[in-house]
Amino acid sequence: MTLLFAHADCPTSVLALRRLGAARADGAALVCVAQETPEAAARLARRTGVAFTVLAEDSPYPVSRAHGVDAVPTAVVLERGEEIERVVGWDAAAYERLLGVQLPGEPRSKPGCGARWMYDYGARGGLDELEDMFERGWSDGLPVIPPTRERVEAMLGGRDRTDSLGFIPPGHGEATLERVAACAVLAGCKPAYFPLVVAAVEAALDPAFNAHGIAVTTQPAGPIVIVNGPARERVGLNSGMGVLGPGARANMTLGRALRLVLTLTGGALPGALDRSTLGNPAKLGLCLAENEEASPWEPLHVERGFAPDASTVTVFAADAPLSVSDHRSLTADELAYVLATAAGATWSPFWWPMDYQSLFVVCPEHAALFRAAGWRKARLREAIFEHAVRPARELNRGETTPYVKAADPEDRVHKWTDADRILIVVAGGEAGRFSAVFGPCGGMGETAITKEVRWTT
C-alpha cells in the first residue's frame, strides 16, 4: 500500500491529488495522509476530486515524522509495513508504475514543497501573529511579515546591522541597517532585494530630496522607485506589462519597503505627521523597472551620468499617475502634443509655469512611434515642453501664479519653467497605447535622486 503525504498549501500536492483523482487511482492501494485538520483535509479531498481515502493528521504530525517525510507530496510505498520505495514530488512515470494507471497531462514532473510543520510558527491559527503586527502599528494597512530576528539576519545578508544611513525626518528615527532590514521583511522582500532597498533609502535621505517636506505635506505625493541596469533582471523586477502594478513581488515589495522605512522608522504616519489630504494608491509603494530593451533611447540612469551596466535606483516624489491614451496619432509630433496636453492637467491645471519635475512613462508602442520618426529623447522632451503652452488669459482663473496674473493675456505660458523638468522613461507591455505621466510633489526642490546599488556588504 502507498501512503501519499500531502498538504493543501503545496501546489504540487494539489496537482498530484488532482491527477490521481482524475485517473481514478485504486483506493485500496493508495491512502492520502493530509497534514491538515480534519476539516481542511475534507476540503482538500473535495477540491481535488480524489476517490481514495484521505486521512487527516494535525500538528505535531506524528505519522509524517515517523516516516521521515519532510517534503510533500511524498509517496511511501509499504510492503508488510516496511518501506520499499518512496517518490518525492510529482513524478507521473513513477506513479503510473506504482499504481498501474495512466496519468496524462503536463507537467510530468514537478518539485514539491516543505512539509506542513515548516509553515507552522507555533501559534495555532497563524493569524495571531499578523494581528499582532497590526496592533503594534507596524503595518501600512495591509498584512506584513513579522520581522523575526532570523528573517532580519537573513535580510541583512552579513551586513553590519548597526551601520546607519542617517536620521529620517520628520521623526528623526535612525535608519540603521537593522531597521531598514526589518522594514524590508515587513514589506515581504526577499534578501536579494535588500541592496536596492538600501539604495532607495539613501536616495530618499539625500538632503536634496527633501524627505521632510514630502513626508508632511498635504499633497498626495509619495516617493516612487525607478530601477535601471542589471539589477532589474537580477532580482526579477517587472518592466513590462502591468509595470505600475500590481502583480510582481519584487516591484510591489521594494516600493513598499521604502515607504515602510519612511513611515515607521521616519515617523511619517498617515493621519499623524503625514498630513496628505487624500493620499494616493501609489503611496502604498510603487517601484517600476525601466524597459531599457524596448526603449529607443538611453535609459534614465545613463542620462543622469551612470554607466549603462551600473544598477541604479532613482527615487521621485510623485502623485498618482495620469493615464494618457493615444491610439490614433500617426506622427511623433501629434503624439508629443497629446502627452503634453495630458500633462498640463497634472498637479495643477493653472499654476503655470511650475518649477517642478514631471515623470513620463512612455509605453513601448508609443516609444516605437518616436523611434520610427528618428526622434531622440531630447527632441521629445523639447516637443512636450513646447506643446504644453497656453495664453495667460486661459490660465488666469482659480489657483494660478503671480506670473500669470501679471502677464499680458496673450502671453504664452509654459507648463514647466524649463524642459529639463521633464523626466522620461520607457516601460510597459508590448501591446497597448497607454502611456502615463506622474505629477510632482511641488515646492520641495529637486525631487529625483539617483543612487547606485552596492551589491557587496
Partner 1 sequence: MSCSVHDVVRLEERGVATAAVGTQPFVDEALEQARVLGMPDYRMVLIEHPVQVATTEELHRRAAAAFDAVVSRLTVTSRGS
Partner 2 sequence: MDYVSPFDERTREPRRLAPRTADLRGRRVALLDISKARGAEFLDEIERLLRERGAATSRHAKPTFSRPAPPELVDELVRDVELVVEGLAD
Binding flag, residue 32, partner 2 (CB under 8 A): no
Minimal distance, residue 453 CB to partner 2, in Å: 22
Q: Find the part of the chain contacting partner 1 (CB under 8 A) among 101-109, 243-251, 268-276, 309-317.
A: 268-276
Helix, coil or strand: residue 23 = coil
Nearer to partner 2, 351 or 434 (CB): 351
Residue 322 touching partner 1 (CB under 8 A): no
**Does 21 sit near partner 1 (CB under 8 A)?**
no
Binders in 137-196 for partner 1, by CB under 8 A: 170-172
Smallest distance, Å, CB 24 to partner 2? 46
Under DSSP, the state recorded for 381 is H
Interatomic CA distance for residues 204 and 449, integer angstroms: 7
Decide which of partner 1, partner 2, none touches 166; Cβ closer than 5 to 8 Å per partner kind.
none
CB atoms closer than 10 angstroms to residue 21: 17
Q: How far is CA 73 from the centre of its chain?
A: 30
Q: What is the CB-side half-sphere exposure of residue 209 using CA atoms within 13 A?
A: 27
Cα angle at 204 between 269 and 243, to 5 degrees? 90
**Whether 64 contacts 37, CB under 8 Å:** no
Task: Please provide the DSSP assignment of 322-370 as one string.
Answer: EEEE-S---SHHHHHHHHHHHHHTSS-SS--SB-S-EEEEE-HHHHHHH
**Integer Cα distance of 45 and 21 in angstroms:** 9
Residue 382: which H helix or E strand, with range?
A: helix 377-387
Contacts of partner 2 in 175-194 (CB under 8 A): 178-179, 181-183, 185-186
Contacting partner 2 (CB under 8 A), which of 4, 17, 69, 264? 264
DSSP bridge pairs for 167: 174
Least gap, CB of 265 to partner 2 (angstroms): 5
Name which of residues 214 to 233 contact partner 2 (CB under 8 A).
Answer: 217
Q: 155 is written with which cell numbers? A: 535580510
259 binds partner 2 (CB under 8 A): no
User: Given candidates 40, 78, 192, 273, which one binds partner 1 under the rule CB under 8 A?
Assistant: 273
| Count of residues in contact with partner 2, rule CB under 8 A | 31
Q: Figure out which of the listed residues 34, 152, 324, 392 binds partner 2, where binding follows CB under 8 A.
A: 152
| Under rule CB under 8 A, residue 443 binds partner 1 | no
Dist. CA 440–CA 242, nearest whole Å: 22
CB of 215 to partner 1, least distance (A): 8
Decide which of partner 2, partner 1, none touches 307; Cβ closer than 5 to 8 Å per partner kind: none
Q: How many Å apart are CA 143 and CA 126, to the nearest integer?
A: 12
> Which of partner 1, partner 2, none sits in contact with 281, Cβ below 5 to 8 A by type?
none
Cβ contact 72:36 at 8 Å: no
Residue 386 is placed in which grid cell?
513646447
Residues between 121 and 150 with contacts to partner 2, criterion CB under 8 A = 129, 132, 136, 138, 146-149
User: Given the rule CB under 8 A, which residues bind partner 2?
Assistant: 129, 132, 136, 138, 146-149, 152, 171-174, 178-179, 181-183, 185-186, 210, 212-213, 217, 260-261, 264-265, 443-445
User: Given the rule CB under 8 A, which residues bind partner 1?
Assistant: 170-172, 212-213, 215-216, 267, 272-273, 275
